[in-house]
Structure formats: structure tokens, C-alpha cells
């Protein structure tokens, strides 16, 4: 009897943990023995390391990526009535944050080529009530923040970038992290830098903004029992901060391994008809996800599943089709690119621990699926 070969996981977090098990356990034990569990030395250490890693003067650790976005918007002074431009194609948290601070998310459709914001389209969407831009470096591909900052300066807008999928990504050689007014990070376990639970941070070069964020994450207080503003409880705890310091040691190496996986897909999947992700000139993406496009998405996904290959869809329903935003004015549904992407995107296994043999199986299965392009098959 033959048994099916083991499946190819979408992301092998256990392998990452195994590689650093001793360091992680020692760091967790260190926190336990220190008896400092919140706002202690492990957080201060990680904040310093993370700020340095992304070229920012300040990093403020919070509970999650969603909180980083919410508190980032609040710290920038945004609130009820303000309109914030958001990409049509993103994880729902980007939009949720805007609504949570009382602002109106105004979707701007993404480029059909890159799936990211195109600055010309964003410029055309700026209106009299627009107060801020919320670009997303989706899948680990940096958005052109230089052009967006020029646009923001011309209109007096604030810019908070969502870097939840872009740890270590670079734009013209500079890391994402202090290129806008503030940058929001998630350390959800599946991100390129992930904690062993929830976590997030905001980075910025602005010392006043950093101080405001430190207050907002801690009940609006910088001195115990003195409350200057309506704050939250959103603190990155000592255990998670210690885990993140350990995992940060491997981030550059793991991003390089992701890049090698991406390059191999690019070489081996040419000619299948699949639309492969494109890297904009002057950008160094970190391949949080490897997302291909095909009108035969559902068929390809079924073929891969049958071959034991796990895949993902990021994301099957765009935010403007979610019931949660039904009452959100101005409710826009003329976002054809986002609608099309939702039916065509497929995320292939990607991660620093995807072995060559596992990737071979993905590639073979994709090739075996037949022509995946828009028109008829072209002969090479």
C-alpha cells in the first residue's frame, strides 16, 4: 500500500519555533524570573531594537496591528467627520481602524497591474474633507510613499502607512518605518515578524507623536492616576516583547529565504499563464505572501488541494462587500479592480521554511493544472 506524501503547509510556523526554541524558552523564563510583566525592560529593549531595524527614532509597542492603526490615527489627531482614503484591496483591519476612530473610510481602487495604490488614482480621489491617507504595503510590497508624501504635502494631509505585511521592506534602499508621519505594524504570529500571540507597534520620527502614543496605549496617562485624554489599554506585554526580540534576530535571514522562494516561483511558473506578482522598480519587497492571479483560480485551488498543497485567498471578499461597512458613508461599490482581484488571487505556500522539495511539489502541481492564462494557450 502506498500512502499519500505529507502535505505542503501554507506556512510552517512550527519549524520557525523549533529553530529558535532554546532562545525563546530562555527569554520567556527571563521575563518570568524578572517579575516584570508590563511596561518593563523587555518592552523598552524591543522598542529600541524595532525602531533601529526600521530606521525610525521611536517605536511604541501596542496590543495588535489593529490597535496600532487605531492609536496611530488617534495620535495624529484624526476623529469624527474626517475622511481617510483607504485602498479597496486590503485586509479588513485597515478599514476597521478608520471606523473605530469615527472617521469615514473612502476607498480608492488599486492598480490592476500591481494590486497596490497608484498615486495618480489616489490624487484624483482627494476631496475637500480628505484629512489623511492610509496606504497598505500589501503582501510585503512597498507602496510609493515618496510620491504619496508629496501628494500629502500639497494638500496638507496626514499619512499613516499600514506595514502589517512589510517587516523589513525597502523603498529606494530605505526601510519602511519612518517614511510617513507614522507607520503601523502587526506582530500577529503569521506575519514576517510574529509574536507568540498578538502584538503590534507604531513607529515614527516624531517625538511628540511617540509620547502621545505612549499615553494613549496606557489609559491616556503618562503619570499614574493622572489622565490627560481618553486612552485605551493596549500594551505589548513583556513576554511578547521578549519573544519578538529573539525572533527579530532572524528577520533579515528569513526575509532573504522568502525572496529566494519567490524568485524560484518566478522562474519555474513562467509559461503557465498565471499572472505572477510584479516588483516595482526601486522596491525590495519581503514576500509576506506570494499571490498569483488567474481567472481559473478556483480550479487551480482545487487541483492544489487534491495534490496536498495548502493555499490561501487574500482576500475572498473585499471590505466594501462586507456587511460591517454597509452603513458607512460614502458607501462605494464601484471598485471593479478589488472585485476582480477577489475572484482571481491565490496565495501559494510561502515562508522561510518551505523546502525545495515542498516547493517542487507546488510547482509540479501548478504546471499539471494546464493553461491558466486569460486567452488561449500560447506555444512557447
Residue 65 CB, nearest distance to ligand PLP (Å)? 2
Environment class of 69 (CB within 10 Å of its CB; exposed 0-12, middle 13-18, buried 19+): buried
For ligand PLP, the closer CB: 185 or 265: 185
Q: CA 275, CA 336: separation in Å to the nearest integer?
A: 18
3-state secondary structure of 199: coil
For ligand PLP, the closer CB: 60 or 369: 60
Give strand ranges (E) for the chain. Answer: 58-62, 83-87, 104-108, 130-133, 158-162, 170-171, 174-175, 182-186, 200-204, 283-284, 290-293, 345-348
Residue 188 CB, nearest distance to ligand PLP (Å)? 4
Residue 194 CB, nearest distance to ligand PLP (Å)? 9
Q: CA 289, CA 299: separation in Å to the nearest integer?
A: 20
For ligand PLP, the closer CB: 143 or 152: 143
DSSP label at residue 6: P
For ligand PLP, the closer CB: 161 or 339: 161
Residue 186 CB, nearest distance to ligand PLP (Å)? 3
For ligand PLP, the closer CB: 198 or 238: 198
Q: CA 231, CA 243: separation in Å to the nearest integer?
A: 26
DSSP for 56-100, please give it. -SEEEEES-HHHHHHHHHHHTT--TT-EEEEESSS-THHHHHHHH
Taking alpha carbons only, the member of 182, 201, 190, 185 closest to residue 44 is 201
CB 188 within 8 A of CB 198: yes
For ligand PLP, the closer CB: 186 or 245: 186
Residue 198 CB, nearest distance to ligand PLP (Å)? 6
Residue 96 CB, nearest distance to ligand PLP (Å)? 8
Which position's Cβ is nearest ligand PLP?
65
The footprint of ligand PLP (CB under 6 A) covers: 64-66, 90-91, 93-94, 136, 162, 164-165, 186, 188, 198, 200
Residue 74 CB, nearest distance to ligand PLP (Å)? 16
For ligand PLP, the closer CB: 141 or 301: 141
The CB-side HSE value for 119 (13 A sphere, CA atoms) comes to 11
Peptide bond into 330 cis (omega under 30): yes
Amino acid at each position: 500500500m502506498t500512502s499519500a506524501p505529507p502535505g505542503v503547509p501554507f506556512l510552517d510556523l512550527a519549524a520557525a519555533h523549533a529553530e529558535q526554541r532554546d532562545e525563546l524558552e530562555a527569554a520567556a523564563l527571563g521575563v518570568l524570573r524578572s517579575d516584570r510583566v508590563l511596561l518593563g525592560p523587555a518592552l523598552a529593549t524591543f522598542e529600541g531594537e524595532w525602531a533601529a531595524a526600521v530606521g525610525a527614532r521611536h517605536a511604541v509597542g501596542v496590543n495588535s496591528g489593529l490597535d496600532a492603526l487605531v492609536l496611530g490615527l488617534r495620535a495624529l489627531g484624526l476623529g469624527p467627520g474626517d475622511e481617510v482614503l483607504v485602498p479597496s484591496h486590503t485586509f479588513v483591519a485597515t478599514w476597521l481602524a478608520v471606523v473605530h476612530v469615527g472617521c469615514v473610510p473612502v476607498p480608492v481602487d488599486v492598480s490592476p497591474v500591481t494590486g497596490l495604490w497608484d498615486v495618480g488614482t489616489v490624487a484624483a480621489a482627494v476631496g475637500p474633507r480628505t484629512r489623511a491617507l492610509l496606504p497598505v504595503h500589501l503582501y510585503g510590497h512597498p507602496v510609493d510613499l515618496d510620491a504619496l508624501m508629496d501628494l500629502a504635502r500639497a494638500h496638507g494631509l496626514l499619512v499613516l502607512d499600514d506595514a502589517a505585511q512589510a517587516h523589513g521592506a525597502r523603498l529606494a534602499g530605505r526601510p519602511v518605518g519612518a517614511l510617513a508621519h507614522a507607520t503601523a505594524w502587526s506582530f500577529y504570529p503569521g506575519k514576517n515578524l510574529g509574536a507568540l500571540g498578538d502584538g503590534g507597534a507604531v513607529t515614527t520620527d516624531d517625538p511628540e507623536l511617540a509620547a502621545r502614543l505612549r499615553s494613549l496605549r496606557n489609559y491616556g496617562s503618562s503619570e499614574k492616576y493622572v489622565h490627560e485624554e481618553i486612552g485605551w489599554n493596549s500594551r505589548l506585554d513583556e513576554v511578547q516583547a521578549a519573544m519578538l526580540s529573539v525572533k527579530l534576530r532572524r528577520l533579515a535571514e528569513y526575509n532573504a529565504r522568502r525572496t529566494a522562494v519567490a524568485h524560484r516561483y518566478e522562474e519555474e511558473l513562467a509559461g503557465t499563464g498565471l499572472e505572477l506578482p510584479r516588483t516595482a522598480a526601486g522596491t525590495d519587497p519581503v514576500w509576506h505572501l506570494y499571490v498569483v492571479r488567474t481567472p481559473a483560480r478556483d480550479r487551480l485551488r482545487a487541483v492544489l488541494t487534491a495534490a496536498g498543497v495548502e493555499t490561501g485567498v487574500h482576500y475572498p471578499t473585499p471590505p466594501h462587500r462586507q456587511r460591517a461597512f454597509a452603513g458607512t458613508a460614502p458607501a462605494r461599490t464601484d471598485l471593479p479592480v478589488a472585485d476582480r482581484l477577489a475572484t482571481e488571487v491565490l496565495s501559494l505556500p510561502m515562508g522561510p521554511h518551505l523546502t525545495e522539495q515542498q516547493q517542487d511539489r507546488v510547482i509540479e502541481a501548478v504546471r499539471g493544472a494546464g493553461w491558466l492564462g486569460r486567452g488561449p494557450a500560447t506555444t512557447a
